[in-house]
């Protein structure tokens, strides 16, 4: 625990670590106060591409937590920086404002006629017409990208289809496999780490806190970050035994970190 408390940087998954649905988890307020008080640098990470950092800031503010927008890193931002690094300039997008804004911000324009890329993220504006259009564009040569490889996402109404489930009909119809950017792809972690590097903080000084063995912990291990599992989300102690790798520490929740 002392090793964890001595880290300079903290990357925290959000769902199951900070909140569940629209409810802040126990101990989170104290943990965020501890981060600020001890001058720790931190990023809140989410594979969901629907919301922009500003919208996430507002979501947390509604739950009574004050965290400024630069502390958020999303699969939408990671997808935008990946596409920028690939020299992309046009994309057809099935996704929400968080994704579309992130792409605009790196100079990618939306094109539904002859785009270089078809990019799929989570959205409620998902319909037969845009699946057909995406299929046509991929068949014409556009590259197929998913913001993250989650199949479902927990909501207050239960498990809902997430990016990988939404992209599946397009993959099936085109016989093409999408490339997925979010966790556990180390691209997502590298993009987050780049923001720490600017502050001269490097991977041995960073802990990754998450609630999922199959995304958060594997991403932490493969990126050389201290893997810390919390049991406030989907994993239990029994879950851990099913995986060929282990977190360094298992905590009930992030509140345990405050001294
Ligand atoms: Mg989570």
97-155 tens-digit pLDDT: 999 999 999 999 999 999 999 999 999 999 999 999 999 999 999 999 999 999 988 77
Q: How far apart (Å, rounded) are the C-alpha atoms in residues 193 and 191?
A: 5
pLDDT tops 80 at residue 36: yes
Query: How many angstroms separate the alpha carbon of residue 90 from the centre of ligand 1?
Result: 31
Contact of 75 with 98, CB cutoff 8 Å? no
The answer to whether the CB of 181 falls within 8 A of the CB of 82 is yes
Q: Active-site residues: which are they?
A: 13, 15
Q: Would you say residue 156 has pLDDT above 80?
A: no
**Residues with C-beta atoms within 5 A of ion ligand 1:** 13, 15-16, 211, 233
Confidence of residue 50 (pLDDT cuts 50, 70, 90): very high
Total-model pTM: 0.93
Ligand 1 centre to CA of 233 (Å) is: 6
In DSSP notation, 97-159 reads HHHHHHHHHTTPEE-SSS-SEEEE---S---HHHHHHHHHHHHTTPEEEES---SEEEETTEE
- For residue 208, the model assigns a pLDDT of 97
- Helix, strand or coil for residue 222? helix
Written as six digits, the tokens of 207 are: 């802990």
Distance 177 CA to ligand 1 centre (A): 25
Cα 241–Cα 26–Cα 56 angle in degrees, nearest 5: 95
Domains 2-47+184-257 and 76-180 share a fold: yes
Q: How far is the CA of 126 from the centre of ligand 1 (A)?
A: 23
* Cα atoms in the 13 Å half-sphere on the side-chain side of 242: 8
- CA 155 to ligand 1 center in whole angstroms: 12
Least confident of 70-74, 153-157, 181-185, 198-202: 153-157
Dist. CA 150 → ligand 1 center (Å): 11
Structure tokens at 145: 């990208």
Task: Report the alpha-carbon distance of residue 148 to residue 181 in Å, rounded.
Answer: 5
What's the topology of domain 76-180?
Rossmann fold (3.40.50)
129 Cα: distance to centroid of ligand 1 (angstroms): 31
**What is the average pLDDT score of the chain?**
95
Q: How far is the CA of 257 from the centre of ligand 1 (A)?
A: 18
Q: Where are the domains of the chain?
A: 2-47+184-257, 76-180
The percent of the chain in helix, strand and coil, each rounded to the nearest 5, is 40, 20, 35
Q: Please, are residues 108 and 90 in contact by the beta-carbon 8 Å criterion?
A: yes
What pLDDT does residue 37 have? 97
**According to the model, what pLDDT value does residue 157 have?**
82
Looking at residue 22, its pLDDT comes to 87
Question: Which pLDDT score is estimated for 238?
Answer: 94
Q: What is the pLDDT of residues 183-199, one digit of tens each?
A: 999 899 988 999 999 99
The tokens describing 127, both together, are 């319909």
Q: Tell me the CATH number for domain 2-47+184-257.
A: 3.40.50.1000
Question: How many angstroms separate the alpha carbon of residue 136 from the centre of ligand 1?
Answer: 34
Reading the block at residue 45, the tokens are 């990470």
On the CB side of 250, CA atoms within 13 Å amount to 13
**Which whole number is the average pLDDT over 159-165?**
93
118-133 in b/e burial notation, b at 16+ Cβ within 10 A?
bbbbbbeebeeebbeb
In this prediction, residues 63-85 reach a mean pLDDT of 96
DSSP 201: -
Burial of residue 211 (number of CB atoms within 10 Å: 0-12, 13-18, 19+): buried
Q: Going along the chain, which residue ranges are E strands?
A: 9-13, 19-20, 23-24, 41-46, 72-74, 90-94, 109-110, 117-120, 143-146, 152-155, 158-161, 179-180, 206-210, 226-230, 249-251
Give distance in angstroms: CA of 210 to centre of ligand 1. Answer: 6
Contacts of 175 (CB under 8 A, 6+ apart): none
């Amino acid at each position: 625990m002392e090793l964890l408390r001595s880290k300079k940087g903290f990357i925290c998954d959000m769902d199951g670590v900070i909140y569940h649905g629209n409810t802040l988890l126990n101990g989170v307020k104290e943990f965020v106060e501890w981060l600020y008080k001890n001058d720790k640098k931190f990023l809140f990470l989410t594979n969901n591409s629907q919301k922009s950092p500003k919208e996430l800031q507002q979501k947390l503010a509604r739950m009574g937590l004050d965290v400024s927008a630069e502390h958020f890193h999303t699969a939408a931002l990671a997808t935008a920086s990946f596409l920028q690094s690939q020299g992309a300039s046009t994309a057809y997008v099935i996704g929400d404002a968080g994704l579309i804004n992130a792409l605009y911000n790196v100079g990618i324009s939306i094109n539904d006629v002859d785009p270089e890329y078809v990019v799929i993220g989570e959205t409620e504006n998902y319909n037969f017409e845009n699946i057909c259009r995406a299929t046509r564009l991929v068949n014409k040569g556009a590259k197929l990208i998913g913001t993250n490889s989650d199949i479902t996402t927990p909501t207050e109404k239960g498990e809902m289809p997430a990016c990988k489930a939404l992209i599946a009909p397009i993959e099936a119809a085109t016989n093409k496999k999408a490339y997925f950017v979010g966790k556990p792809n180390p691209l997502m972690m590298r993009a987050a780490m780049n923001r720490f590097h600017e502050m001269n903080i490097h991977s041995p000084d960073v802990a990754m806190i998450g609630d999922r063995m199959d995304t958060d912990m594997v991403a932490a291990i493969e990126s050389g970050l201290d893997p810390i599992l919390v049991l406030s989300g989907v994993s239990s102690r029994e879950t851990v035994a099913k995986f060929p790798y282990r977190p360094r520490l298992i905590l009930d929740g992030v509140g345990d970190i405050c001294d």
